[in-house]
Amino acid sequence: MNLLTPERYITTTDGDPAGKPDVRFLTWFFPVWYAVFGVIICVLTRVTPPPRPDVTTAGTVAFFTEHHLTIQIGFVLLLILLGGAPLTNGLVLYHMKRMSVGSVFGYGYIAAMSVGALPGFLLVGVCYLTATFRPDRDPELIGWLYDLGNLSYNGSLGCFTTAYVVLAIAVLYDKNGVFPKWFGYVTVWQVITEVIATQFFLFYSGPLAWNGVLSLWWAVVVFSVWLGALIFVLRAATIGEPVDSPGLD
């Protein structure tokens, strides 16, 4: 576990980090993509931090009226940015395919991330954009879009759990040591904290509502730790791969 000692990094004779240049490029793309993603969802689309679940119908209409421009700009940018998700998820797939466990785990990860993206991003995008582009509709319908969008976006966190399960199993079973075992355990935390998102459907307020301290915010903290760890282990796995190793099937 000497994570920070220099000898863990294999360097070329020039002293540069080793690893394939295109894969190394993706390890830089990965955190940049998530940084832009974070700015869009937190500042523009207004889905995180989530708006209150316990507002009246008039409150939901006021929310969309007040933020309609940033929501529209935010989701347009998000739809463009999501084109880069195959690259970030593909980088994880690339390293999962280098593991001894076989490609099926990698494809399982991609499939689960893809399924999660439907309720997790596209449905909330459709709900928010419809609500802001059709403000003349019945306020009850606007309120319904508000609930559907937020329940879909936050409540679908459990969909990504499948991806975390296959990733954790792959890391823990892998004999090639592509990712460290501790990262497999950290991924298990992700599985458990995100399953609690199922509670969002039941509560309008309190610790287990969709803006609840236990169900959402503590899970966000764990997710941030997990994502930071993923960026770190992706970089370590990339520079640990011999430059002259054959390409993957």
Q: Which two tokens stand for residue 77?
A: 């940018």
Looking up tokens 């509709």 gives 137
In the bound state with other proteins, the residue whose beta carbon lies nearer, of 61 and 167, is: 167
Q: According to the binding rule CB under 8 A, does residue 193 interact with other proteins? A: yes
Task: Find the angle CA(124)-CA(121)-CA(48) to the nearest 5 degrees.
Answer: 75
The one among 34, 107, 144, 203 contacting other proteins by CB under 8 A: 203
* ω into 49 cis (within 30 of 0): yes
Among 29, 189, 223, 232, binds other proteins (CB under 8 A): 189
Q: How far is CA 233 from the centre of its chain?
A: 16
Cα dist from 110 to 27, 107, 179, 195, whole Å: 17, 5, 17, 19
Among 115, 117, 208, 231, binds other proteins (CB under 8 A): 208
Q: Which of 42, 221, 243, 248 binds other proteins (CB under 8 A)?
A: 221
Are 11 and 18 spatial neighbours (Cβ–Cβ below 8 Å)? Answer: yes
Told to check if 182 binds other proteins by CB under 8 A, we report: yes
Could you say whether residue 27 binds other proteins (CB under 8 A)? no
Of 193, 198, 185, 202, whose CA–CA distance to 223 is shortest? 193
222 contacts other proteins (rule: CB under 8 A): yes
Quick one: which of 97, 23, 50 has its CA closest to 219?
Answer: 50
**Of residues 28 and 201, the one with the C-beta less far from other proteins:** 201
H helices, E strands: number in the chain:
9, 0
218 binds other proteins (CB under 8 A): yes
Q: Does 17 bind other proteins (CB under 8 A)?
A: no
User: 36-57: string of b/e by CB count within 10 Å (b at 16+)?
Assistant: ebeebbeebbbbbebbebeeee
Residue from 147, 180, 223, 232 in contact with other proteins (CB under 8 A)? 180
Question: Among the candidate windows 6-14, 15-23, 61-69, 174-182, which touches other proteins by CB under 8 A?
Answer: 174-182
Tell me if 10 sits within 8 A of 240, measured CB to CB: yes
**Is residue 154 at the binding interface for other proteins, with CB under 8 A as the rule?**
no
Give the integer Cα–Cα distance in Å for 98 and 178. 7
Q: Are the beta carbons of 74 and 44 closer than 8 angstroms?
A: yes
Stretch that binds other proteins, among 59-67, 111-119, 213-221, 234-242 (CB under 8 A): 213-221
Check binding of 1 to other proteins (CB under 8 A).
Answer: yes
Q: Is 195 in the site for other proteins (CB under 8 A)?
A: yes
Q: Which CB sits closer to other proteins, 26 or 237?
A: 237
**Residue closer to other proteins, measured from CB, 39 or 192:** 192
Q: Does 199 bind other proteins (CB under 8 A)?
A: yes
Which residues bind to other proteins, rule: CB under 8 A? 1, 180-182, 184-186, 188-189, 192-193, 195-196, 199, 202-203, 206-208, 213-215, 218, 221-222, 225
